[in-house]
Amino acid sequence: MAETTATEAVREEEEKKEEAEEQSFEELGVDARLLRALHKKEIEKPTPIQRVAIPLILQGKDVVARAKTGSGKTLAYLLPLLQKLFTASAERRKLAPNAFVLVPTRELCQQVYAEVLSLVELCRVQLKVVQLNSNMLANDLRAALAGPPDILISTPACVAKCLSGGILKAASINESLETLVLDEADLLLSYGYENDIKAFTPHVPRSCQCLLMSATSSTDVDKLKKLVLHNPYILTLPEVG
Ligand code: ADP
Ligand code: MG
């Protein structure tokens, strides 16, 4: 009898897993424009981290997501981030910058920027997306941030430089920032960005949704969690897979 119950429990567990694997982006709550964009990109089924992270991020929760490289963490945060911007009120949209995506390297900055642009173009929405890099001089930075962007993709160092140079105002971060993503969070501190991050975190409003993506867990990720997150959901693959 006990054995039958155990077998049933295992079967139920397997069925649940199979059902989850069949879940579509639509069932996760992704909006029609993004669904069409994903289809055009031939991305049909969410990955395990996307399945668990997207609904929580869409609900506005702070999330720490740890899953190995290549598991689809970029779309796990970009889809809800874009969706939030698509549905923001006109009043809210006037405030900018609305979202920061902070990454440890220029290459990653370029990669995330290309991904955002391709989604924005496929969705045919008007959003200003800007990337900053360490080669940009004060004038370039000023030009990039003029008519402030909805989404800013940058290393923490460039944001800190803009803040200290008065190109980016602490008050406007405080007034407008709705989403802060720290991508490859496990690398941000080891690449020496701690002081840059500390330069702007005091200005991040309490209402800002903070998302921390990483491939590994480390004391650095814990430190960052304490710096930017209030009461996050911690998603760790493979446990949630
Ligand atoms: P991570 O940030 O976890 O290392 P990425 O977000 O860079 O992973 O994704 C790795 C690759 O997988 C990218 O080429 C991306 O386009 C692709 N990808 C992401 N999500 C999906 C999906 N649901 N189905 C198929 N490919 C995907
Ligand atoms: Mg990544």
CA 206 / ligand 1 centre spacing (Å): 30
- Determine if ligand 1 sits within 6 Å of the CB of residue 51: no
At 239, the pLDDT band (50, 70, 90 cuts) reads low
Q: Is 181 helix (H, G, I), strand (E, B) or coil?
A: strand
The C-alpha atoms of residue 75 and residue 10 are separated, in whole angstroms, by: 32
What residues pack around ion ligand 2 (CB closer than 5 A)?
73
**CB 66 within 8 Å of CB 211:** no
Residue 13 token pair: 């567990």
Confidence tier at 215 by pLDDT (50, 70, 90): very high
99-112 per-position pLDDT tens digit: 999 999 999 999 99
State whether residue 139 is helix, strand or coil.
helix
**Is the CB of residue 153 less than 8 Å from the CB of residue 130?**
yes
- The ipTM is 0.99
**Strand, coil or helix: what is 180?**
strand
Give the integer Cα–Cα distance in Å for 183 and 34: 21
pLDDT band, residue 10 (cuts 50/70/90)? confident
pLDDT of residue 241: 42
- In this structure, the number of other CB atoms found within 10 A of the CB of residue 15 comes to 10
**Per-residue H/E/C for 51-91:** HHHHHHHHCCCCEEEECCCCCCHHHHHHHHHHHHHHCCCHH
Of 3.40.50.300, 3.30.559.10, 3.40.640.10, 3.40.190.10, the CATH number of 2-236 is 3.40.50.300
CB of residue 73 inside a 6 A radius of ligand 1: yes
* Dist. CA 192 → ligand 1 center (Å): 27
Closest CA to ligand 1's atom 2: 73
Q: What is the pTM of this model?
A: 0.91
